[in-house]
Structure 1
Amino acid sequence: MSFSDIPPKMKALVLEAPGKYSVRWVDTPKPGPYEVLVRVRAVAICGSDPLLLTGKFAGGKYPLFYPMIPGHEWAGEIVALGPGVTEFKIGDRVAGEAHKGCGLCNMCKKGRYNLCENFGNMEKGHRWYGFIANGAYAQYQVYHVKAIHKIPDTMSFEEGAMVDTTAIALHGLKRAGVPPGGTVVIIGPGPVGLCALQCAKALGAGRVIVVGRGHGGRSNRMKVARELGGELVDVEIEDPVSRVLELTNGKGADLVVECSGSEEACSWTVNMVRKGGSIVLIGNYKKPVNYLMSKVVFDEITIYGSRGNPNASDEAINLIASGKINVKKLITHVFPLDEFAKALETFVKRLEGAIKVIVKP
């Protein structure tokens, strides 16, 4: 396909101001140096999207400009190459990640481009697609080659759109390391938590305990967690800390991974983990957390923050492709881009047991 075969206009979800967005026709972008143009085939709604759309993400700091196109969990196929692209070819099936570092700062040189010291400075090459650069809720979009990864023909585009979520869970677990045969607690059975459950097992955990709300046995998320091999702790009917300690003979878990973003849940972690154990915080906390820091000191507990998914996408793709991670089980709804408002409502209100909702531009 030559660029002359690509439509000059495309449909996109355009965010014009906080809370004001619509699907409309816009110009199809052209790839610059070391960029590709992708025909986006599937986009997964992320928990950050509703906040971004209403101007509440990071206290309203993002996006940096209006109008803009959100969306950052996606898969599609390359339809055009910008100057200098040799790593990919037209027709390649790819999944994307949101972060692309400047490549110049100390953090980028260490491979920690999610912590780029030029974060938000597009003139120096930083990109955070769907937040400070146009994203994937569009029929076409341009991406730098550093932010895309090939997916196999055996992987559907819907599964490919789950690579970002899977890689977030994987990065968090690998920050701390999963003790072979050890016990891992996952707090929050949302998409990231359910991916973390599976990643923990794939990395050698002997036992995974999932802490969440059962909603009187009606929670589809807890049901799926059980089907994926998790032992359940329902915070609505039992004290989560006491129950985890009971399940671990009073010792606590080797690793606790907090995925919910609840400040209360975050405060539980230090009392659920064993002496010398580790805690990974993936959730996004808006208020201060009450932590028993003396226990962290005297029990030599290690706490890891985890942001994004640097250097984790290719491994996530392999885990999904090999069947060790089942993301199909998390995809509950699929909508066309024209029905984005319905898709968003389904995701936010968790209608019909929604876990992960896919939009197809």
Structure 2
Amino acid sequence: MRALVITGPGEAAVQDVEPPVAAPGQVIVDIERVGVCGTDLELFTGEMNYLRTGRSWYPLRPGHEWCGQVTALGEGVDRGWLGRRVTGDTMIGCGRCERCRAGRHHVCADLAEIGISRGYAGALAERLAVPATALHALPDQVDTTLGALVEPGGNALRAFHGAGLRPGERLLVLGTGTIGLLVALFARSRGVEVHLMGRDAEGLRLARTLGFTGIWTRPTLPATVWHAVVDASNAAELPALALELVEPARRVVYIGLAGTPSTLDTRDLLLKDVTAVGILGGSAGLADAIKAYADASVDARPLVAATVGLAQTAEVLAGHRPDGAGPGPKIHIDPRL
């Protein structure tokens, strides 16, 4: 089958590889759509921290935001999965340790991440092997575009829940990339007053077309009460700003990752009695993200700027924006093309 393989920093190409065979407990999924994520970009450029710690290595087959159809079953898998449209959890725990048994498999000490770590082949390919325990069925109302947005949607929904907001309260989201906009969409659907801060007016244009009116840059940000702040940016200075801006005794949520270490003064955290929440992975949010897409309370499709074939993936990873792409931050890949 065809699959995208990253062989080193800045080096990626479609190769013919052996197709996966379903091991006991696994299924084979024919992939229909894959989202290109910032993590994929860091794996391609070589900037991903996992490459320095040995958790990831080249050659590497990326892709962890996906959907497709189950076409083969391994031993012990319920035959009801055959033919189902599905997406799946990126985080694959051992299933045996205390963390996994308690539902915290996303922080398992032996965690493997599909298309990211421990050599687990990803979805930027024609087919993917995945444990049946990681699958989530997609209802008919969730098309392929939304299906490949479930994984980032789960992350964003966890970030929103981490903010601890009630309807009518005010949220500030730092960053207008895919995750920031998804946090804003989920928050608005739950009755929260949403504001977004971006780098410049151009970057905030899509947020405005999505119907958000609280659109700011740092110089224009109003002095008001922020009942929660979500940092969904990759700017090293914004974690400290989130803490500075949030209302005392409320919450800041950190889901963005900067390329260099971020610092904040824990004295400010303590003296403001602020709760800081870190979000790793969308596991606990996937099911509810699917429900929100299915009932149309959240429509994330405008975030996808273009869908291209597998052969164009290396160009996308190298920073090329497809001709005719819309304003959204997300590029999708159809491995069938």
Return the TM-score normalized by structure 2: 0.92
CA pair 298-65 structure 1, distance change in 2 beyond 3 A: closer
* 1:167 alignment partner in structure 2: 154
Q: Aligned pair in 2 of structure 1 residues 351, 57: CA closer, same or farther (>3 Å)?
A: farther
Residue of structure 2 aligned with 1:208, choices 170, 194, 197: 194
Residues 306 and 325, structure 2, Cα contact 8 Å, conserved in 1 = no
Q: Which residue of 1 aligns with 2:331?
A: 357
**Cα offsets for 1:320-354 (capped at 9, x unmatched):** 11111111110111101011133332359x97634
Other structure's SS at 2:109 match: coil
Amino acid paired to 1:234: T
Which residue of 1 is the match for residue 320 of structure 2?
346
What is the aligned counterpart of 2:240 among 267, 271, 278? 267
Alignment of 1:41-56 (within 5 A): 41-56=32-47
Cα deviation 1:26-76 (Å, max 9, x = unaligned)? 111111111000000000000111111222211623663433311100000
Question: Aligned pair in 2 of structure 1 residues 272, 339: CA closer, same or farther (>3 Å)?
Answer: same
Greater CA deviation, 133-142 or 105-114? 105-114
User: Which residue does the alignment assign to 1:257?
Assistant: 230
Task: Report the counterpart of residue 178 of structure 2 in structure 1.
Answer: 191
Which stretch shifts more, 280-289 or 41-50? 280-289
- What one-letter code is carried by the residue in structure 2 that aligns with 1:209? H
More displaced stretch, 60-69 vs 296-305 = 60-69
Distance in 1 between residues matched to 2:325 and 2:301, nearest whole Å = 18
CA gap 1:60/1:354 in 2 versus in 1, 3 angstroms = same
| 1:26 maps to 2:28 | no
1:97 corresponds to: 89
Alpha-carbon separation, structure 1, partners of 2:58 and 2:264: 38
Q: Is the 8 A contact 2:93 2:105 kept in 1?
A: yes
Matched, 1:218 2:218: no
Give the whole-Å Cα distance in 1 for the aligned partners of 2:275 and 2:47: 31
Task: Identify which range, 265-274 or 224-233, moves more after superposition.
Answer: 224-233
* Residues 346, 354 of structure 1: 8 Å contact kept: no
The residue number in structure 1 matching 2:101 is 109
Where does residue 123 of structure 2 map in the other structure? 136
- The Cα RMSD (Å) is 2.1
For 1:217-259, what per-residue CA distance to the aligned partner results, in whole angstroms no more than 9, with x for missing partners?
433xx12212334311123xx154xx2x2xx2xxx21110000
Asked if structure 2 preserves the Cα contact closer than 8 Å seen for 1:77 and 1:92, the reply is: yes
Q: Deviations over 1:82-109 (max 9, x none)?
A: 1111174221000122101112222212
In structure 2, what residue type is equivalent to 1:194?
L
Paired residue total? 330
Report the Cα distance in structure 2 between the residues aligned to 1:18 and 1:288, rounded to whole angstroms.
21
Q: CA deviation at 1:150?
A: 0.5
SS at match of 1:263: coil
Shift of 1:182: 0.7
Give me the whole-angstrom Cα distance separating, in 1, the residues matched to 2:321 and 2:92: 27
Q: Which moved more, 1:325-334 or 1:53-62?
A: 53-62
Larger deviation, residues 13-22 vs 39-48: 13-22
Partners of 1:256 and 1:280 within 8 A in 2:
yes
Question: Is the Cα contact below 8 Å between 1:178 and 1:204 reproduced in 2?
Answer: no
**Which residue number in structure 2 is paired with residue 85 of structure 1?**
77
TM-score by length of 1: 0.86
Distance 1:284 1:24 in 2: 31
Residue 234 of structure 1: aligned partner: 217
Counterparts of 1:197 and 1:128, CA distance in 2: 26
CA displacement 1:96-129 (0-9 Å, x = unmatched): 221011122222122111111223xxxxxxx310
Q: Secondary structure of 1:353's partner?
A: coil
SS of match in other structure, 1:173: helix
Change in CA separation of 1:340 and 1:287 when aligned onto 2, cut-off 3 Å: closer
Contact 1:85 1:145 in 2 (8 A): yes
For residues 175 and 104 of structure 2, what CA distance do their matches in structure 1 show? 26
Percent identity between the two aligned chains: 29
5+ residue gaps, structure 2: none
> Could you tell me how far apart the structure 2 residues matched to 1:227 and 1:353 are?
10
Structure 2 match to 1:7: none
**Are the structure 2 counterparts of residues 278 and 70 from structure 1 closer, same or farther at C-alpha, using a change threshold of 3 Å?**
same
